Structure 1
Amino acid sequence: MKKIIMLCGLLLLTFLWGMLELKYGNGAENRGNQANVSPQENMGSGRVEETGTQNENGEQREIQSGTEGLETDESESGIRVLLKSDGYESEYHTDICLTCDKDYTIQKEDSQIRYKAGEEIQITPQSDLFAKGEVLQAFSNDGRFYFPELERAETDIGYEGSLEIRKTDQGLLLVNVLPLESYLCGVLPSEMSEAFLLEALKAQAICARTYAMQQQESGRAEEYGADLDDSTSYQVYNNRRHGAKTDQAVKETAGLVMMMQDGALADARYYSTSCGLDLHRNLSEESVFAAFLQEDQISSVEAEEPFYRWKTNIQLVDLQEKTEWEKIENLQVAERNEKGAATCLEITGQRKTVEQDEADADQTVTSEEAVQKIETEEVTEKIIGEYQIRQFLALADLVITLQDGSTREGWQLLPSAFFYLQPVTEGDILTGYDVYGGGYGHGEGMSQNGARHMAEQGEDCETILKNYYGEIELVKYSS
């Protein structure tokens, strides 16, 4: 009986040993084969997974699938920033080159691929990564992502948080998802100089935080899967490297936003330089505003700023060459807001028109035929909006002279809409306008240079903000 029991035990041990060998014996061999795959081969078909094995056809199979065990990102409840293409020209990228200073993971529809720190990958709409879906996510534990080929003022700035890359018919959308406070640390040095005093930087941090939360509520960038983008269309992000003082300003104001008396977020727009705006004066009348810009006794903390006063000249022939106007006979600011900014520009003159018979509307017109059909008509048109007015007048290839005598060229916008026009004639013929203006930016909310000078005079951030936004309260938001 004892022999039978011993024999059964021996058979059981043999069986267990066989199972263990089957399970682990080939593992080292498999890992050895995988270690010999060259980086060039890895790049050929997406990247060979570190935990992968091969199926019967020799194709790489991903062991980790579905969502269980995948890395997650704790910043999902933060802010979503659309990163625009080179020079902020487009929302869409033709390709994206990325890397990370720590090991990182690309999560696909139902699986993930791990990459080593410093390893670059190139993603295009045709990449195999999109084989099973149109959205990729990139994560790293405490790492920063870098885009070696993305053109910014400083290109070696890392991006915290996670990335979302979405394939569309127009190209790739690239969204950075990160906590709001981390985002602000990337905004501050891009929007205000580290050389400014701390109280001015703290005022800027509160403005930027309030503005970002407004954009989250507005849904303005929803079509791109974002809350805002990283350009001047919203507020500039990660164009300049972080600074100790800008980070300190964000930290010392953590969570603080501006609230109006009715409990709504304040309109937290800001701009570079004012022209000495007086919130207690109505400057909507043309003659009143012109007299205001000509005053010498205005008390303003920004009076010595180069953009405080500026001038330029518009040649009508230049404007006509860049537009559909055959002849501009008059330019006139038709409306201003109470601060004095031009909000409506009236243009009178002869506009080019091309007439074509209805029967020929769907036919191709040769250049010779088109020239024969061009006529002109006397019209008066209006350009509405301070931005649109600044854009239209800048078509004349302006040279802008600042009050310190320096000049600026090649601008796509007039410095501000705080200007008035003075006709220039040769005999009885109108040839253009001298433009006298002041300030730099849209003129709404806080002047950044004004905040700088107020801080230099000893004012704290709350006093600075109330000077520009009126009856606001600083409230700590709860996420």
Structure 2
Amino acid sequence: MKFQLFLASLFSHIKGRHWWLGIVIWIALVAPAQASVILRVAIERDVKQVKVGSSTTAVVKDSSGRTLGQLPGMSAYYAQAVPGGVALDKWQSNLFWVEPTGKGFVYIGDRWYRGRTLVVPSEKGLSVVNWVDLEEYLYSVIGGEMDSGWPLEALKAQAIAARTYALYEREKQRNNPIYDLGDTPDRWQIYQGVNSESRTTLAAVDATAGKVLTYRNRIILSVFHACSGGHTENSEDVWGSREPYLRAVPDFDQNISECNWIRTFSPTEISAQIPEIGNVKQMIPESTSPFGSVTSLKIVGDKGQKVLRGEDVRTALKLKSTRFNVSNGNGSFTLRGLGYGHALGMSQWGAYNLAKRGYNHLQILNYYYKGVALAPIQVKK
């Protein structure tokens, strides 16, 4: 296969910090000015290859903005990391844009997305980033984060919370030359492309278009979770830092089956997660929040002990929540808990139940985020 080499000599001289500067320059060269709010969502990061394509004929551009040719619609091609850049079909360049014609969707990995695709080299291979309008991004996120059959007022509350969170992350990542956020719930929001869109998610986003939550004129960290198990938490009891708008409130998500859980661990299973303490002998909740969540958990083994604090209590053992009690019997440890998630901000099941009771989306948001205001952003539809 013959490859066209564009800016190869420039790429070879850009190392370390300057390499990232080069990427910024290339993106700036080929990214036209946008009046709408565009999000850069990393769909794949640091992989060797990934399939890309388009539902309609797609224009392929290189790092200088030059049109290399077209990819036929409804066909997928492997983008691959190669020495000196990225290869796509018969081309090689420092980066590629894949831009569908008409109202086409782009294909990345195994899903369809709105917007366009940037394929760019990364330190460990390549990354594929979906450049998508904020409101169109939310069409998918709402369906990923909530059941699209839930009451519209709950979906509208989720739309505003998700929009606010996305812009908060976008600002937080302003020095990242490649992406603003990813597509997974471990750190960001669930983004599954057009597959999770529906009539109701579009309606919820359109009805709240451009609206965000602010506290003292600054966009808030509008985190949310599936359910708290009866009471949300104060941010300092989970993350150690106090946010005035993330205050604990009684919740409306009791008696939800997924929010009542039991996990049984053998000592070997716990030791596999925390090997430095040896064989586990005890699990002792040392402190709890005012609302019953474990804020400090001591795990004692025959080689030492480890104290987990805050959110580490949940993540280290892959628990649904930190609201649990511990019992020890037959050589194993049984944890019985309530809630699903970090219990900060809006409870999604709580929003569902409040909407069922007739509360609107603004009332729901004002209940879970204290002292906030609803503010507009300028978004071109």
Give 5+ residue unaligned stretches, structure 2: 5-25, 239-249
Q: Which amino acid aligns with 1:310?
A: W
Displacement after TM superposition at 1:128 (Å): 4.6
Deviation sequence 1:319-349 (CA, Å, 0-9, x none): 2355423332322223334443323322223
Question: Does 1:422 find its partner at 2:327?
Answer: yes
Cα distance between partner residues in 1 of 2:370 and 2:31: 46
Question: Does 1:212 find its partner at 2:166?
Answer: yes
Matched with 1:159 is 113
If the length of structure 1 is used for normalisation, what is the TM-score? 0.63
Query: Residues 105, 321 of structure 1: CA spacing in aligned structure 2 closer, same or farther, 3 A cutoff?
Result: closer
Give 5+ residue unaligned stretches, structure 1: 1-43, 48-65, 85-90, 285-298, 352-378, 394-412
| 2:251–2:347 Cα contact (<8 Å) kept | no
Q: Which amino acid aligns with 1:415?
A: K
- Please provide the CA RMSD for this pair: 3.1
Q: Which of residues 97, 122, 127 is equivalent to 1:137?
A: 97
Question: Does 1:302 find its partner at 2:253?
Answer: yes
Q: Secondary structure at the match of 1:228?
A: coil
Matched with 1:320 is 271
Q: Which of residues 457, 460, 467 is equivalent to 2:357?
A: 457
Query: Residues 179, 75 of structure 1: CA spacing in aligned structure 2 closer, same or farther, 3 A cutoff?
Result: farther
Deviation sequence 1:20-47 (CA, Å, 0-9, x none): xxxxxxxxxxxxxxxxxxxxxxxx5469
Question: Does 1:380 find its partner at 2:305?
Answer: yes
| 1:75–1:162 Cα contact (<8 Å) kept | no
Q: Which of residues 256, 272, 280 is equivalent to 2:226?
A: 272
Cα distance between partner residues in 1 of 2:363 and 2:87: 55
| 1:73–1:161 Cα contact (<8 Å) kept | no
Cα distance between partner residues in 1 of 2:196 and 2:33: 24
Displacement after TM superposition at 1:391 (Å): 3.6
| 2:76–2:107 Cα contact (<8 Å) kept | no
Query: Residues 94, 339 of structure 1: CA spacing in aligned structure 2 closer, same or farther, 3 A cutoff?
Result: farther
Question: Does 1:186 find its partner at 2:122?
Answer: no
Matched with 2:149 is 195
- Equivalent residues in 2 for 1:13-412 (5 A)? 44-45=1-2, 74=34, 77-84=37-44, 91-110=45-64, 111-112=66-67, 113-126=69-82, 128=87, 133-141=93-101, 142-147=103-108, 150-151=109-110, 155=111, 158-219=112-173, 223=176, 225-232=178-185, 233-238=187-192, 240-260=195-215, 262-277=216-231, 301-320=252-271, 323-324=274-275, 325-351=277-303, 379-386=304-311, 388-393=312-317
Matched with 2:23 is none
| 1:390–1:416 Cα contact (<8 Å) kept | yes
| 2:96–2:120 Cα contact (<8 Å) kept | yes
Instruction: Select the structure that is richer in strand.
Output: 2
Query: Residues 339, 80 of structure 1: CA spacing in aligned structure 2 closer, same or farther, 3 A cutoff?
Result: farther
Query: Residues 92, 307 of structure 1: CA spacing in aligned structure 2 closer, same or farther, 3 A cutoff?
Result: same
Cα distance between partner residues in 1 of 2:76 and 2:35: 23
| 1:97–1:120 Cα contact (<8 Å) kept | yes
Cα distance between partner residues in 2 of 1:109 and 1:392: 42
Cα distance between partner residues in 1 of 2:237 and 2:62: 57
Query: Residues 337, 266 of structure 1: CA spacing in aligned structure 2 closer, same or farther, 3 A cutoff?
Result: farther
Q: Which amino acid aligns with 1:305?
A: I
Cα distance between partner residues in 2 of 1:389 and 1:254: 37
Q: Secondary structure at the match of 2:374?
A: strand
Cα distance between partner residues in 2 of 1:436 and 1:242: 35
Cα distance between partner residues in 2 of 1:249 and 1:107: 35
Query: Residues 279, 235 of structure 1: CA spacing in aligned structure 2 closer, same or farther, 3 A cutoff?
Result: closer
Q: Which amino acid aligns with 1:314?
A: F
Query: Residues 138, 339 of structure 1: CA spacing in aligned structure 2 closer, same or farther, 3 A cutoff?
Result: farther
| 2:3–2:92 Cα contact (<8 Å) kept | no
Cα distance between partner residues in 1 of 2:117 and 2:272: 44
Cα distance between partner residues in 2 of 1:438 and 1:114: 53
Deviation sequence 1:376-421 (CA, Å, 0-9, x none): xxx33222332x322433xxxxxxxxxxxxxxxxxxx211111122
* Aligned residues with identical type, % of pairs: 24
Larger C-alpha radius of gyration, 1 or 2?
1
| 2:227–2:259 Cα contact (<8 Å) kept | yes
If the length of structure 2 is used for normalisation, what is the TM-score? 0.79
Matched with 2:242 is none
Query: Residues 338, 106 of structure 1: CA spacing in aligned structure 2 closer, same or farther, 3 A cutoff?
Result: farther
| 2:228–2:251 Cα contact (<8 Å) kept | no
Q: Secondary structure at the match of 2:375?
A: strand
Cα distance between partner residues in 2 of 1:349 and 1:475: 52
Displacement after TM superposition at 1:164 (Å): 0.9
Displacement after TM superposition at 1:258 (Å): 0.9
Displacement after TM superposition at 1:72 (Å): 5.0
* Structure of higher RCO (CA pairs closer than 8 Å, 6+ residues apart): 2
Q: Secondary structure at the match of 1:92?
A: strand
Q: Number of paired residues?
A: 335
Cα distance between partner residues in 2 of 1:94 and 1:159: 21
| 1:333–1:345 Cα contact (<8 Å) kept | yes
Query: Residues 467, 131 of structure 1: CA spacing in aligned structure 2 closer, same or farther, 3 A cutoff?
Result: same
